Amino acid sequence: MTTPGRGRPTAVKIIIAGGFGAGKTTLVGSISEIPPVTTEAVMTAASLGHDDSTLVPDKGSTTVAMDFGRITLYQDLVLYLFGTPGQKRFWFMWDELCRGAIGAVVIADTRRLADCFGAIDFFDNRRLPYVIAVNHFEGAARYHLEDVRDALAVSRGVPMINADVRSRASAKEILVAVTEHALAQRTGARR
């Protein structure tokens, strides 16, 4: 990967992960400069017992493979966004989705923080740099980022930011944060 500003376009892959209903599809849709490709399927009785929709009762569909979007951050830096499915039964796809990624975003829903542990463990085990975006849902309690960090047992080296994934500006902040973190990790590893 080259440094932005060097003239040669660089395309990088970013993974968007998190629990069921955390806002992965919404993040990709809010920032993508192309119509996002989604693999949303209508939730049916088959998902009963698998998907806890009590905190997202209006959710009528779910990602079953991936979401895909694209955003040009700089003139010569294009991010390809791949949103993972949030349910455990679809995690077998994560290895393929993550192949070649430079970094990831874990979207945290403070109403269900335990849903983040799978993604955090996955990225920690693969040494893939990631940031945590604490998505603020209407009516949900707000917590200080350090309290969320402690609850998730995430090291101080992992950037955490407050987010509203519906907002293009907030989504851009998230992507800039993960890109900068991934670049810093790569630069540090070469020293």
Question: For 5-52, what is each residue's pLDDT tens digit?
Answer: 556 778 899 999 998 888 999 999 999 999 877 765 554 455 445 555
- Regarding pTM above 0.85, the answer is no
Sheet of strand 160-163, all strands in order from the earlier edge strand to the far edge: 37-42, 61-74, 77-83, 10-18, 103-109, 130-135, 160-163
What integer is the mean pLDDT of 64-91?
80
The candidate with the shortest Cα–Cα distance to 105, out of 22, 46, 49, is 22
What is the longest distance spanned by two Cα atoms in the chain?
Answer: 53
For all residues of the chain together, what is the average pLDDT? Answer: 83
- H-helix or E-strand spanning residue 61: strand 61-74
Alpha helices in the chain (DSSP H): 24-31, 94-98, 117-125, 145-152, 168-190
Question: For 128-139, what is each residue's pLDDT tens digit?
Answer: 999 999 999 888
What integer is the mean pLDDT of 95-124?
93
148: pLDDT strictly greater than 80 = yes
Question: For 155-188, what is each residue's pLDDT tens digit?
Answer: 999 999 999 999 999 999 999 999 999 999 888 7
